[in-house]
Amino acid sequence: MKKIVLAVPKGRISNDLIPLLEKMDIKIENDFFDSTTRKLYFKTNYKNFEIIRVRSFDVATFVAFGAAQIGVAGNDILHEFQYNEIYSILDLKIGKCRLSVAKTKAEINQTDEQKGHILVATKYKETVINHFAEQGIRAECIKLNGAIELAPKLGICSTIVDLVSTGNTLKENNLVETEVLLNITSRLIVNKIAYKIMNSDITNWVNRFERAINE
């Protein structure tokens, strides 16, 4: 059996994934659960199954380039990067949220169509540019990786595109959700070349994930 590396994102999705892994009888070394650790590579009770934990935006890149054979990534990230080297093979039904446009209350009365140009704070540059281009609007993106809701408050722009779960952060920063671009769940993704070369091994793990979801 060849070694399989699973790439998982840091943060909330990593925590949501743990019950699934437990159903699959996967036990990860204790450092994985230590919030102070700087380790990124973890062994499991399966000699040929190991886990790396990276930033959510990097999971797809690690899988696309073959550093990990399988990974867990939201369809927001798959939509942003659109790697041809990846199969999105299974909806894990965790990490549910949405990618939305939000604006200041003052901005809502002026439609994008009236302006023909919009300035947006986001980390989803390609998704945003393509979305507004379909409406005949030129979107100029300010690339931010965190605290995106601060951009309108500090006068950088009046519109953001970011992940929304409860919407409370938007309300606290006087922003209004105006449009949903994507409804998001986390997906099990597979490197296409690895899937051909290691089909039996990878299919075994995909089936185990599927059974854990349906339990």
The CATH code that applies to domain 4-95+185-214 is: 3.40.190.10
- Give residue 106's pLDDT: 79
pLDDT digit string (tens) for 38-68? 999 999 999 999 999 999 999 999 999 999 9
CATH 3.40.50.1700 describes domain 97-183: no
Please enumerate in sequence order all residues whose Cβ is within 8 A of that of 136, keeping only pairs 6 or more positions apart, or say none.
Answer: 113, 116
| Averaged pLDDT score across all residues of the chain | 93
The rounded distance, in Å, linking the Cα atoms of 37 and 31 is: 6
Its pTM surpasses 0.85? yes
Say whether 97-183 and 4-95+185-214 share the same fold: yes
The rounded distance, in Å, linking the Cα atoms of 99 and 125 is: 12
Of 53, 4, 2, the C-alpha closest to 24 is 4
Mean per-residue pLDDT, 126-136 = 94
Domain ranges of the chain: 4-95+185-214, 97-183
- Structure tokens belonging to residue 12: 């909330």
